[in-house]
Chain A
Amino acid sequence: MMQVPPSPEIQFVGDASISGMSVFQQVEMTVGAGQWTCLLGQSGVGKTTILRLLAGLGSYVDHNGEIIASDGQQLAGRISLMAQSDNLMPWLDVFDNIVIGSRLRGDAVDSTLAKDLIEQVGLSSHSHKKPNALSGGQRQRVALARTLMESRPIVLLDEPFSALDARIRAEMQELAARLFAGKTVCLITHDPGEAARLGEVIYVMSTSGLRQINPPSSSVIRPYDAPDVLACQGQLLRLLREMP
């Protein structure tokens, strides 16, 4: 396997507003080092704004606060992002999509690693296909391999599985849990079941702020039908509905 640099913990603190309109206030969140941190909430409460600020894409946001990594270094260049839209280039085949990061930086392409990752996501027989010839689940597997190809210690996931059907989504969660092991992962989701399966740290976000919830005690990835996972899922759904 590839060398993964140590994964830091990230502290996110502060308020955010976009052109004078407040998005959220006094949020304090810790993304655990080498852990899955799930940020659960309904649409429009500012989950994605937090993620974009972490990713360094928030130049349009007035962020009054701090983002600190536990090792004191900058986050830029240590982050890999995977969004709901797979953002695959329709004009590149699977292999070229996976190595796009190196190409964009003008670095040499590590094709051994790329081929290894294509195999790990189970797409060896598709590596010369273009995205339009793949199913939705296969496309997200390519996006997953592309995210891994970056070999970054921090992974930000913005509802990457939400557009997939239930079975493929469960498979992708398992694959991601296995392949992102050891990285600091921040997953944005609106699916309580996903948070209950994957979260080692779980936050529920609403317009009134952020609330930390105790995750099930078993380690990830948890079976979706274990009693404690189902109980957690129920508790999260209740909070989603009841938090103002």
Chain B
Amino acid sequence: MIRVLRIAAVTGVILLLWHMLVVMTGLPAFILPSPMRVATALFSNLELIGHHATVTIAEVLIGLCLGAVLGVVTAISLALSPVSRLVVRPMMVISQALPVFALAPVLTLWLGYGLWPKIIMALLIIYFPVTSAFFDGLMQTPRGMLDMANVMQGKSWQIMRYIRIPSAIPALASGLRLAAVYAPIGAIIGEWVGASQGLGYLMLLANGRAKIDLMFAALIVLALLTLLLHGSVDRLCSYVVKRQQT
């Protein structure tokens, strides 16, 4: 209850400051619309924004799931095989030196204007944080547990399954929490480069037609969706981690 009140208070203060800024500076609506105008734009275009939001949500969720699965698989194979660590790890670091933004036009060229280039962008942007966090967790299994497993003559895949993966779950959870914030960025970049649907596309379109109030409305919806996604992933991760130990 206190939490809800606090969020409401913070939101209220921000809206008030925004409103005062518009009133005091007298900025025209096509530069900075007032909160009221944005709210009006939001509610009168609810169906339109809803349609584009659904597309973005689909891209983000699919990208998030695929990226997480790919990251988990990569981290496990890196942790199992020293050879793949030698070969794949430097490749991953080098791939991070390429700005993902720069890849977006190429992806659009290769995969067209549909959902896939956006999904791949979201996937690419979260792949590294997920892999890296989970891999670090897999390499930090408590020494005593591994000693015991070796004396028991455990097989390396079974040790991975029963000891190393479970003990790395908290690390994976922090990777996924980051991923939930990054994935929408990837999808929006993809939409900016070339799309016919999605919140990123709507924002560009509204901007181009000087419908700044609509652009802000789409931006706010995007921010809310990202917060909601992060909140859900955070809750889910905390639940799984807590459940694992009790």
Chain A contacts with B in 77-130, Cβ cutoff 8 A: 77, 79-81, 83, 85, 87, 89-92, 100-101, 103-106, 130
Interface centre among A57, A80, A104, A130, by most chain B C-beta atoms within 10 angstroms, is: A104
Chain A residues with CB under 8 Å of B245's CB are 90-91, 130, 132
Contact partner of A150 among B142, B144, B152, B158, CB < 8 A? B152
Query: Is the CB–CB distance between B148 and A56 below 8 Å?
Result: no
A2 within 8 A of B: no
| Interface window among B1-9, B159-167, B199-207 | B159-167
A13 at the interface (CB under 8 A from B): no
**Docked CA distance A101–B158 (Å):** 10
In contact, A79 and B151 (Cβ under 8 angstroms): yes
Complex: how many Å from CA A106 to CA B166? 17
CA of A100 to CA of B144, assembled, Å: 14
Closest to A131 in B: B245
Contact A100 B147 (CB under 8 A): no
Cβ–Cβ < 8 Å partners of A106 in chain B = 155, 158
Known contacts A56-B151, A57-B151; is-contact A105 B158 (Cβ 8 Å): yes
Beta-carbon contact of B154 and A132 below 8 Å: no
Known: A87-B142, A91-B245. A105 touches B153 (CB 8 A): yes
Size of the chain B interface, CB-CB below 8 angstroms: 22
* Nearest CB in chain A: distance from B227 CB, A: 30
Q: Nearest Cβ distance between residue A130 and chain B, in whole angstroms? A: 6
Closest chain A CB from B158 CB (angstroms): 5
Q: How far is the CA of A104 from the CA of B169 in the complex (A)?
A: 19
Is the CB–CB distance between B150 and A130 below 8 Å?
A: no
B244 touches A (CB below 8 Å)? yes
CB atoms of A81 and B148 under 8 A apart: yes
B153 lies within 8 A of A77 (CB): yes
Q: How far is the CB of B80 from chain A (nearest CB, A)?
A: 15
CB contacts (< 8 Å) of B148 on chain A: these are 81, 83, 87
Q: Which 6 residue pairs spanning A and B have beta carbons closest together?
A: A104-B154, A101-B152, A87-B144, A81-B151, A91-B166, A91-B244
The residues of B with any CB-CB pair to A shorter than 8 Å are 142, 144-145, 147-155, 158-159, 162-163, 166-167, 169, 244-246
